[in-house]
């Protein structure tokens, strides 16, 4: 695998859209998953602060990607749509958000997603990283994978009425051990899970 860090979305637009369409081929007929809707999200995300992508190539063929942004603070819409409202220490922390992570089927199960994730985080200055995941994606295995990477659930979010309800997860960024804080799991131990 040859991961490449990218800050210019135009240079990898076709690669990202191609991987997306292959990974979501079974849902492209749904409005939220339509290639046009993905293109709109990608264009919006690429215009947000701190946008960066890491794309994996094998002999020049793109087979996986991850892209992320820096949140603008506690008032960012990421936290604004998270329920319950995250505790102030989470929402105010310097945060990079993984917006999309995809790996083509043939390259799954080989640690590619983790490698893309690690390459991204190794170069980021933020103290915390967050992502959203469909809780039942691959029968819950994707959320369990993120938990094994140190992510904790802090709530749920829905970006639009046609979008699925997602689990919001956070973890300290690699450099956060030098002054970051540990994220408490959600729900708190004394509250029952919904």
pTM attached to this predicted model: 0.84
Helix (H) / strand (E) element for 88: namely: helix 88-91
Interacting residues of 4 by C-beta distance below 8 A, sequence separation 6+: 54, 55, 56, 57
Which pLDDT tens digit goes with each residue over 133-165? 999 988 999 999 999 999 999 999 998 887 889
Q: Which of 193, 116, 181, 114 is nearest to 156 (CA)?
A: 193
Which pLDDT tens digit goes with each residue over 99-139? 999 999 999 999 999 999 999 999 799 999 999 999 998 89
pLDDT-derived band at 178, boundaries 50, 70, 90: very low
What pLDDT does 163 receive? 84
What pLDDT does 159 receive? 83
Using a CB cutoff of 8 Å and minimum separation of 24, what contacts does 10-15 make? Answer: 12/53, 12/55, 12/62, 12/65, 13/42, 15/55, 15/62, 15/65
């Amino acid at each position: 695998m040859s991961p490449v860090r990218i800050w210019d979305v135009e240079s990898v637009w076709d690669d990202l859209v191609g991987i997306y369409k292959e990974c979501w081929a079974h849902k492209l007929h749904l409005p939220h998953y339509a290639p046009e809707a993905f293109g709109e999200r990608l264009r919006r995300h690429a215009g947000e602060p701190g946008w960066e992508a890491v794309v994996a190539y094998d002999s020049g063929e793109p087979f996986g990607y991850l892209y992320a942004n820096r949140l603008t603070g506690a008032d960012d819409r990421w936290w604004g749509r998270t329920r319950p409202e995250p505790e102030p220490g989470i929402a105010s922390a310097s945060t990079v958000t993984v917006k999309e992570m995809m790996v083509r089927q043939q390259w799954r199960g080989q640690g590619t997603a983790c490698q893309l994730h690690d390459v991204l985080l190794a170069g980021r200055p933020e103290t915390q990283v967050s992502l959203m995941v469909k809780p039942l994606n691959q029968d819950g295995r994707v959320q369990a994978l993120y938990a094994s990477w140190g992510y904790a659930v802090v709530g749920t979010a829905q970006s639009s009425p046609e979008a699925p309800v997602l689990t919001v997860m956070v973890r300290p960024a690699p450099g956060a051990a030098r002054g970051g804080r540990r994220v408490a799991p959600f729900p708190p131990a004394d509250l029952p899970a919904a």
